[in-house]
Amino acid sequence: MKGVVVYQSWWGSCKRIAEAITRGLIEAGHEVQVLAVEEAGKPDPSLDFTVIGGATRWPGARPKIKRYAKKVIKAGMEGYEPPGKERGTLPETEVARAEEFGRELGAKLRSQ
């Protein structure tokens, strides 16, 4: 399947997570591109899936990524609890967890 991972990142953490999810999806056999929301342009209806991510801490997701998500889909990461203790901090365990999420998502997409 073909898809895109679109993210918005302030300190680079969301970018790293988006890249990790992309690696997991690629390992699962999907053709995936990762793009910052500023580069994403209009949603591509020929794609099979879109993964959207951005910061969720107060005050919440930024307007640009929210607008993009509204154009594509409303989706969440079931059971996800953000671990960040300080602003801009990304524990290394979250990169591995995001990559595993990408693999799991890729497997589910392949089974459809």
pLDDT for 110 beyond 90:
no
pLDDT for 6 beyond 70:
yes
pLDDT for 17 beyond 80:
yes
The CATH number of domain 2-110, selected from 3.30.420.40, 3.40.50.720, 3.40.50.360, 3.40.50.410: 3.40.50.360
Q: Where are the domains of the chain?
A: 2-110
Over residues 40-98, the pLDDT tens digits come to: 988 888 888 888 888 766 566 777 777 777 777 543 433 334 444 555 567 777 788 88
pLDDT value for 58: 59
Q: Which residues pair with 43 in a beta bridge?
A: none
Among residues 46, 57, 47, the alpha carbon closest in space to that of 25 is found at 47
pLDDT for 103 beyond 70:
yes
Task: Name, in order, each residue with C-beta under 8 angstroms of 1's C-beta and a sequence gap of 6 or more.
Answer: 30, 31, 48, 49, 109, 110
